[in-house]
Amino acid sequence: MEYFKVKNLTVPKTYSLQEVGITQSLLSTWKTCRRKFLFSINRWERIENDRFAYHSMMHYLLEVLYSGATGVTILKELTKYKLPGKPDEIETMKAVAQVMISYYIMHYKKDFTEKRFESVEGKFSIKFGDYLLLGKKDGRFRDKQGGRWHIEHKNYARIDEDFLMQHLSFDLQNMFYALADLIEFKKPLKGVLYNIIRKPETRKERSTQELYQHLEKEVSKNPEHYFIRYEIPYALSEIEEFKRSLQFQLDEIDSTIGGCHADTELIPVAFYKNESACDGKYRCPFLGACSTGNMCGYRQRKVLFPELI
């Protein structure tokens, strides 16, 4: 069987920052590795790509929750939710999710009386000069004083609190959304509520029932270990600085794309591999493609931005 060759990748004529736009995730890909960016704008993905299955399910449950559903409805949605994987893995993931979401609702009951949610999973498409910024915010709410906040949900298995406390002050996603919010509302938001639900460790030898009981005991004993929040304010001056640097970065992407349209020989050169980025927090899914030069084990998605679905 003949596989598509990496050397035949082009910059799609249909892609532009002006007409199609960019998400923070695609911008982050550009900053991580230009070759990965090239794979992404061509919509390639690994066929086995269920690494974020648990994260996506928890995200969905939180979306339903903050849209006004009751705990009973959430559990019904969890039962119906379709997960990839083997039946025992699915059962384990759902047992974990059931415990975590049930205790989350109890732990943060004030969310449902003191916060006024204005949008949940709200998409935006905002003009930034000639370019288009795209995204989907987990939630936007008003606090008791009427201040506007974003909430960002994360499910991490390992959490380095010292690193996060410092790094979140210039987190790309938070800054990107804060800027989009400033353009839309003409006034800076109060901050971002970074909402982490720790993914518990699961041991294979436990039955689902044992796992469920074990997690209930663990989470009820120490909820602060599993539910962590940071309130991060961003000053207008920080958002303005981000705005200038974003302009610089988008101009660089735009001119690279334009240069490769004019001279296709430039494509492998301009979209060079960043060998330092192959094995970071997560192993790059395109390692196989970069090492073999073909797209065996990959497929092309229908949509460019799966994060906006």
Is 53 one of the binding residues for ligand SF4 (CB under 6 A)? no
Nearer to ligand SF4, 178 or 253 (CB): 253
Please give the Cα distance from 149 to 143 (Å, whole number).
Answer: 7
In whole angstroms, give the CA distance from residue 174 to residue 252.
22
**Does 46 interact with ligand SF4 (rule: CB under 6 A)?**
no
Furthest-apart CA pair in the chain: how many Å?
63
Instruction: CB nearer to ligand SF4: give 168 or 278.
Output: 278
Residue 105 lies near ligand SF4 (rule: CB under 6 A): no
Binding residue count for ligand SF4, defined by CB under 6 A:
12
Nearest to ligand SF4 of 228, 278 (CB atom): 278
**Nearest distance, CB of residue 3 and ligand SF4, angstroms:** 16
Burial of residue 273 (CB within 10 Å: 0-12, 13-18, 19+) is middle
Give how far Cα 186 sits from Cα of 24, 147, 204, Å: 20, 14, 51
Cβ proximity to ligand SF4: between 12 and 288 the closer is 288
Shortest separation between residue 41's beta carbon and ligand SF4, angstroms? 13
Q: In terms of CB distance, is 183 or 277 closer to ligand SF4?
A: 277
Site residues for ligand SF4, 245-304, by CB under 6 A, read: 273-275, 277-278, 284, 286-287, 290
Give the shortest CB-285-to-ligand SF4 separation in angstroms: 7
Q: For ligand SF4, which is the closer residue by CB, 27 or 33? A: 33
Q: What is the dihedral of CA 233, 100, 92, 280, to 10 degrees?
A: 20
CB of 31 to ligand SF4, least distance (A): 11
Stretch of 29-37, 197-205, 212-220, 249-257 lying at the interface with ligand SF4 (CB under 6 A): 29-37
With CA atoms as reference, report the closest residue to 9 among 195, 223, 276, 273: 273
Segment near ligand SF4 (CB under 6 A); pick from 30-38, 146-154, 183-191, 196-204? 30-38
CB of 290 to ligand SF4, least distance (A): 3
Beta pairing partners, 128: 131
Q: Which of residues 65 and 284 has its CB atom nearest to ligand SF4 in the complex?
A: 284
One symbol per residue from 210 to 239: x for binding ligand SF4 (CB under 6 A), - otherwise; what is it?
A: ------------------------------
Residue 134 half-sphere exposure, CB side, CA atoms within 13 Å? 18
CB of 40 to ligand SF4, least distance (A): 9
CB of 152 to ligand SF4, least distance (A): 25
Task: Kindly state whether residue 31 participates in binding ligand SF4, applying the rule CB under 6 A.
Answer: no
Return residues touching ligand SF4 (CB under 6 A): 33, 35-36, 273-275, 277-278, 284, 286-287, 290
